Structure 1
């Protein structure tokens, strides 16, 4: 197995925001990243993770309101958490957008929100193997850490894998 450099993506989460406050998240320099939608699901109950999405070309305020959550979840209890990528330096826009995409895909695959059913069915691509996400702040029901090593199949065929001490 070839070793790859791990890419650590830090996400600083904030929320919850009711839908009527989302429109204020429109600063084009900072208001992009990934977001979580919570609400009532007819099977899973109240205040559950329904959806994970991303925005990179638009702000949180524009993208989230386009999805019409006030009509999708007719229980009226939608809450949004927004996740802004963070680190010691702001990367190029291309790198930033790529990290947003990778983070969204790995978070969806590992948490399996009910309204992301199409994305859950897809097996993560090879580019997720070396991704490691650290969730900070108010990340609600997400795991604090998510690793592509754990959630992809890269380790499934590890040669000579056995419990220590068996041989």
Structure 2
């Protein structure tokens, strides 16, 4: 199988207010669709959510998700982040696929497959606290094999993500290994 590289350009931080939430003095929230992260041509891809977690602390990676057939704004608004204990400090980073040199625009189906693969590999390699169901799904060695030839390169404002996530490291390298012994 041919090696595949997925390049993601990350942008942010955005707040819940940036994507259309408003909060009153009692922290009651209201969502109104607005123009930020709602461009029907380019606002699709992957996103990271940072915020407060009762165990891991403040400003930590909570979630990695994807927006395929809905814009970032629409998709993120469905996840009820306004109920986080520190919702006014939620930070959102969005990632869009890009190409270099003469790579051609993938078909819609190929693009969706790339987004889905990247989401799963990023979740597996970073273990965000709120992605527990996807982490458990990918802990199966057989399920991981399809990522062996995948490499993800993160650019710009990728925050806590590793700059490179490779199937060579996360899938293949450590299945069978031998500890070297020191011999006098």
Supply the distance in 1 between the matched residues of 2:172 and 2:63 (Cα, whole angstroms).
24
The residue aligned with 1:129 is 148
The residue aligned with 1:142 is 161
Supply the distance in 1 between the matched residues of 2:109 and 2:151 (Cα, whole angstroms).
19
Displacement of 1:68? 1.5
Displacement of 1:154? 6.5
In the comparison of the two structures, how many residue pairs are matched?
159
Q: Could you state the TM-score of these two structures normalised by the residue count of structure 2?
A: 0.80
Aligned CA RMSD, in angstroms, stands at 2.0
1:75 pairs with 2:94 = no
Supply the distance in 2 between the matched residues of 1:60 and 1:17 (Cα, whole angstroms).
11
Displacement of 1:126? 2.4
SS in 1 for 2:17: helix
**Structure 1: which 4+ aligned runs deviate by more than 3 Å?**
none
2:105 to 90, 93, 97: 90
Unaligned 5+ residue runs, structure 2?
20-33
1:120 pairs with 2:117 = no
Displacement of 1:157? 4.0
Paired residues of 1:129 and 1:154 also in contact (CA < 8 A): no
Q: Could you state the TM-score of these two structures normalised by the residue count of structure 1?
A: 0.87
Within 5 Å, give how 1:48-63 maps onto structure 2. Answer: 48-63=60-75
1:11 to 8, 18, 25: 8
1:100 pairs with 2:115 = yes
The residue aligned with 2:26 is none
Unaligned 5+ residue runs, structure 1?
none
Structure with larger Rg = 2
